[in-house]
Amino acid sequence: MRELIHVVVTRTFRYHHEPFTSHEVEALVAKVEAVKEVKNPRHYAATAAWHYLVERRRRHARALRRAVQVERRLAEAKQEEGLQRSYERARGELAELVDTLRAEGVTQAQECQLGLLLAVYIHGYSLAQAEEIYPKTSRDTRYQWKRRGLKLVAPHASEELRRFLQEGGMGNRIKPVV
């Protein structure tokens, strides 16, 4: 009886072109022998072997999915880290550029525009939150100041800074420096 079950399990593995070890075969044979009341032990052995193969494939697929997820997360973290460094350089460049423009001399309106740029792109304020800094200005005025400040800075900006400004600055990616 044991040899018959052994043959059935082995044939099931071979029929499905699955590699197997003698340890796996012996474990399945022992499992089938442990079940006493089976009308057709040959059929039960083939079914048990098939279920074992299906579960093994599922485990393998789960492990592959986990490995792919880990690789994807690592790649995203690495990309995010690179983006963080790029944003930090752009923020530093923007601060230096604003200081340079202020040193060269700007009008009072341009000073407000540059101040709004610093608040939005370096300190992380939204235009609505910038109302705290400029309380007697309308939303449209703040938006206009931002656009004019960008036009004032754009001719002097590097490609990295331009990309940073086009993407909307920090967005949700970078925590503001306080």
Domain map of the chain by residue range?
2-61, 82-166
pTM above 0.85, yes or no: no
d(CA 47, CA 16): 13
Q: What is the mean pLDDT of residues 36-61?
A: 86
Q: What single-letter amino acid sits at 103?
A: A
> What own/partner pairs with CB < 8 Å and gap ≥ 24 does 104-109 have?
106/152, 109/148
User: What is the C-alpha R_g of the chain?
Assistant: 34
* φ, ψ of residue 64 in degrees (nearest 5): -65, -45
Higher pLDDT, 3 or 152: 152
**Which 3 state secondary structure label does DSSP give 171?**
coil
Q: Could you report the per-residue pLDDT of 105-115, keeping only the tens digit for each?
A: 888 888 888 88
Give the CA distances from residue 84 to residues 99, 172, 173, in Å, rounded to whole numbers and listed in that order.
Answer: 23, 11, 8
Q: Could you report the per-residue pLDDT of 61-95, keeping only the tens digit for each?
A: 999 999 999 999 998 888 888 778 888 888 888 88
Q: Which pLDDT does position 59 carry in this prediction?
A: 92
Q: Which pLDDT does position 176 carry in this prediction?
A: 43
Mean pLDDT of the chain: 83
Q: Which two tokens stand for residue 101?
A: 């423009």
d(CA 80, CA 48): 47
